[in-house]
Amino acid sequence: MSTTYSISDLARELDITTRAIRFYEEQAMLNPERRGQERIYSAKDKVTLKLILRGKRIGFSLAECKELIELYDPGHGNRKQLETFMHKIAERRAQLEQQLLDIQQMQLELDTAEERCLAALVTAQA
Q: What is the pLDDT of residues 88-114, one digit of tens each?
A: 999 999 999 999 999 999 999 999 999
pLDDT tens for each residue of 41-66: 999 899 999 999 999 999 999 999 99
Closest by Cα among 26, 82, 91, 81 to 61: 91
Q: Is the pTM of this model over 0.85?
A: no
Q: Look up residue 35 and give its DSSP letter.
A: E
Query: 51-79 burial, b for 16+ CB within 10 Å, e for fewer?
Result: bbeebeeeebeeebbbbbbeebeeeeeee
Backbone angles phi, psi at 70, to 5 degrees: -70, -20
Lowest mean pLDDT among 12-16, 43-47, 115-119: 43-47
Is pLDDT at 2 greater than 80 in this prediction? no
- The terminus-to-terminus CA distance of the chain in angstroms comes to 84
Give the number of other Cβ atoms within 10 Å of residue 26's Cβ: 9
